[in-house]
Chains A and B, each alone.
Chain A
Amino acid sequence: MKHLLKYEFRKTRTVKTAVLISTCIFEILFLLGLLSNAAVLLGTGITGLSFCATLGMLILGLVSISVLYRELNSCQSYMLFLTPNSSYKIIGAKILENGITLAVGGICFVALAGIDLFLWGVQASDFPTVIQLLSDMMGNIHLNPADIARVLLVLFSGWLSIITIAFFAVAIQAALLNGRRFGGLFSFLIFLAVVIGVGIVMANLPLGQGFLGSVLLSMTFPVSTGVLYSLLYLGITALFYALTGWIMDKKLSV
């Protein structure tokens, strides 16, 4: 598994490097804005960092889906399936790589946000005002470490479940179409159908909400709600991991 993970990380290192460099550039702009009291630089830095945190994670997820699509629909699949590894291990490594990237990326961006807030507060010599400014910007959301952790946990597990469903869609497409035209479109349609199906099932559960609803609910309800949603999403991830592994093991010819 460690070797599979090693190469999964290598496959996406170019995009990760691009996200890292972009983050550094916007961080430098933010720091320059702080030092020089230039609102434009400060604003550009904050906006850019927010985009890197959100879009960056989104792009990394999309790239890993794209990598799997390319591998299963071309001869590059031989690099995976000629090795003495089960399909479950192969897809497990991809999900694990996504999870680790998401977790590490999330922690780094949260830590960076904390440091930047601290620096901003030091520069302004007025923490409460900085926090109030941010709260006003984000509406009536109270910034509380437990809230942040809960929301991030739901976001993390929810996004991981979406990535896994996308892997499942790609695997089905590869098993049925085997590299033929419109495979990408077919994958996307399967993905949409499954996500809608899962959403309908979730909506019929007690406290049932879709992905966005669960994120919002977890902010306002007790910790246990956030944990429950996280467990639900992790369960969805496990289910579609097992289904994807089965398809690749029994039905996929490359």
Chain B
Amino acid sequence: MLESIHLTKNYLNKKALDDVSLKLEEGQIYALLGPNGSGKTTWMKTAAGLTKPTSGEMLYNGSPVGIESRREIAYMSTEPYFFRWMTVEDVGEYFQDFFDDFSSDRYRELLAEMALTEDMKIRQLSSGMAAKLKIAATMARKASVFLLDEPLNGIDLIARDRIMEAVISSVEPNVTLVISSHLVEEIESFASKAVFLRNGHAVEVCDVEDLRVREGKSLAYKYREIME
């Protein structure tokens, strides 16, 4: 499974992650929470193999993340990243070419749910439509780990529930899902675990159900407790 060991990432003028050790369990839905600049994206990008750690390790099934782990880890960034010359159909073709676990049928189903058509050009998509396309392309994979970085950014209120249903329904029982979001109340309804990051440190990991039952606290309340 996915594990970071004393992971540190420095940029020129900032320490994005500072000695973060986290071990994710299989089959759980993690809410990765923290204010802007807390290291959520850096942690996810390191897990996806996009960012090289300054020190420490990011392991997948005991081996450092790399080419092989990319076959099983699906990452969806906050920013749009498809080539601008592509159409929606081209994106599906690209994912089909590079990812053995990508299902074109599932992709088309998700496109239909998101009200997107294959002839649409990437450069002409609104930010909301681009966000939906990212979700469709990512969730059409049968990955073992999904890392979704603020998947509901730019999505209108009505579409959010439908999209989260599509995300949860795409995920099989033994799959690990990590979602970072500022919409704490919205992801509380389906997250099983929560990881709190602040200033590049992993502050706490808790079980959402335990938090509710034993401490009588919501995730949003816990978030405020930790961050304030």
A181 close to B (CB within 8 Å)? no
Interface residues of B in 53-84 (CB under 8 A from A): 67-68, 70-71, 75, 77, 79-83
- Report the bound CA distance from A84 to B67 in whole Å: 5
Interchain CB contact under 8 A, B52 and A3: no
Interface residues of B in 21-76 (CB under 8 A from A): 45, 48-52, 67-68, 70-71, 75
Interchain CB contact under 8 A, B80 and A84: no
B221 close to A (CB within 8 Å)? no
Distance in angstroms from B1 CB to nearest chain A CB is 19
Q: Give every chain A residue within 8 A of B11 (Cβ-Cβ).
A: 178
Q: Give every chain A residue within 8 A of B190 (Cβ-Cβ).
A: none
A220 close to B (CB within 8 Å)? no
Interchain CB contact under 8 A, B50 and A254: yes
Interchain CB contact under 8 A, A78 and B77: yes
Most buried by B among A7, A10, A82, A178: A82
Contact of A81 among B50, B71, B85, B99 (CB under 8 A): B50
Interface residues of A in 10-53 (CB under 8 A from B): 10-11, 14
Interface residues of B in 84-102 (CB under 8 A from A): 85, 94, 97-99
Contact of A82 among B70, B79, B85 (CB under 8 A): B70
Contact of A10 among B48, B50, B51, B85 (CB under 8 A): B85
13 contacts between A and B (CB under 8 A): A3-B97, A75-B80, A75-B81, A78-B50, A79-B81, A79-B82, A82-B75, A84-B67, A84-B68, A252-B52, A253-B9, A253-B51, A254-B51
Question: CB-nearest residue of chain B relative to A71?
Answer: B83
Interchain CB contact under 8 A, A84 and B71: yes
Q: Give every chain B residue within 8 A of A6 (Cβ-Cβ).
A: 97
Q: Give every chain B residue within 8 A of A77 (Cβ-Cβ).
A: 50, 81
Q: How many A residues have CB within 8 A of the partner chain?
A: 23
Q: How many B residues have CB within 8 A of the partner chain?
A: 24
- Report the bound CA distance from A75 to B81 in whole Å: 5
- Answer whether A82 and B94 are a contact pair too, CB < 8 Å, given A75-B80, A76-B83: no
**Which 9 pairs show the lowest CB-CB distances between chains A and B?**
A75-B81, A83-B98, A253-B51, A78-B81, A3-B97, A84-B70, A75-B79, A84-B71, A253-B52
- Report the bound CA distance from A172 to B52 in whole Å: 15
Q: Give every chain A residue within 8 A of B81 (Cβ-Cβ).
A: 75-79
Q: Give every chain B residue within 8 A of A14 (Cβ-Cβ).
A: 85
Distance in angstroms from A121 CB to nearest chain B CB is 43
Interchain CB contact under 8 A, B77 and A84: no
- Report the bound CA distance from A3 to B90 in whole Å: 13
Interchain CB contact under 8 A, A83 and B52: no
A85 close to B (CB within 8 Å)? yes
Distance in angstroms from B14 CB to nearest chain A CB is 12
Distance in angstroms from B97 CB to nearest chain A CB is 4
Known A11-B85, A75-B79; further 9 A-B contacts with Cβ < 8 A = A75-B80, A78-B77, A78-B81, A79-B94, A83-B70, A84-B70, A84-B71, A251-B52, A254-B50
Interchain CB contact under 8 A, A79 and B83: yes
- Report the bound CA distance from A158 to B82 in whole Å: 33
